[in-house]
Amino acid sequence: METESVDAVLTDPPYSTGGTYAAQRQRPPSEKYQDHDVKTKRSSFTGDNRDQRSFITWATLWLTECHRVTKEGGSCMMFTDWRQLPAMSDALQAGGWVWRNIVVWHKPSARPICGEFTRQCEFVLFGVKDRLARSHRRCLPGVYTQSIVAHQRRMHLTEKPIPLLEALLEVTPPGATILDPFMGSATTGAACQNTGRKFIGIELSPDYFKIAKTRLKAPTN
C-alpha cells in the first residue's frame, strides 16, 4: 500500500488470548471463543496462538506498516482484551504511534464469575500519527456500552457489533478512508458503508474473505 494513503486504522486483530496458561491459549479459536454446544459452528482462523514475545514482535511489525500507510494526523483504533492490553499498548508505541487513550467497551451481558470480578470489558487502544487532525469539536465518550452479537447471528467467531464500530468512526473525518488489516467478516467495512467512509479490508482466511465480500455487497443493517 502507498505511504500516507489512509486516514485511520480500525482493527480487531487476533488477540492470542483465551486462557491463563500457554497450553490453553494455544487451542484453536473455534474451541477458545465458541461454546462446544453452539448450533452453527463458525470457521476457525490463524494467528491466534503466538507466545507472548512473538505476539508483541509480530504486532509491532504490522502496526509499523499501518503507521506508514496512515496520513499524518490520522489515528489507529485497535481492539484488545484485559490480558493483552499491556502487550498491545507496548506494540502500538513501538510501531510509532502516539498512545492517546484506552476506550472501554462495556459488555452488559458478560458472564458473571463466582467470587471474582466479572470480565465485562474489552478495550480499544487509541493512537495517533503525530497530532490528531480533528475534524469536529464534539466530545466523544470514553466508555461505550454495547451488547455482544448473539452467537446465532454471528458471521465471525469474534464478531464485533456494528453500532460500536460506527460510534468509534466518529473520531475520523466524514468520507475518510479506513483500513482494517484483520477484517474477518468485514464488520468495520459495514460500519464504514453505514457512515459514508471508504474501506480497505485485508483478510487471510479464504472463508472469512468470502463472507466479507458477500456482506459488503448487501445492505448492512
Ligand X SMILES: C[S@@+](CC[C@H](N)C(=O)[O-])C[C@H]1O[C@@H](n2cnc3c(N)ncnc32)[C@H](O)[C@@H]1O
3-state secondary structure of 126: strand
CA 147 to CA 163: how far, in whole Å?
Answer: 10
What's the first-to-final CA gap in the chain, in angstroms?
30
> Does position 185 bind ligand X by CB under 6 A?
yes
Binders in 32-51 for ligand X, by CB under 6 A: 45-47
CA distance 126 to 79: 9
Which range, of 98-106, 110-118, 138-146, 203-211, touches ligand X by CB under 6 A? 203-211
The answer to the question of residue 14 lying near ligand X (CB under 6 A) is yes
Which range, of 81-89, 94-102, 129-137, 184-192, touches ligand X by CB under 6 A?
184-192
What is the 3-state secondary structure of 136-182?
CCCCCCCEEECCCCCHHHCCCCCCCCHHHHHHHHHHCCCCCEEEECC
Residue nearest to ligand X as judged by C-beta position: 184
Piece in contact with ligand X (CB under 6 A), picked from 2-10, 113-121, 124-132, 197-205: 197-205
Q: Which residues, numbered 152-181, are part of the site for ligand X (CB under 6 A)?
A: 156, 158-160, 181
Separation CA 133–CA 203 (nearest Å): 28
Binding pattern to ligand X, positions 88-127, x when CB under 6 A? ----------------------------------------
Residue 18 interacting with ligand X (CB under 6 A): no
Residues at the interface with ligand X (CB under 6 A): 12-14, 45-47, 156, 158-160, 181-182, 184-185, 187, 202-205, 208
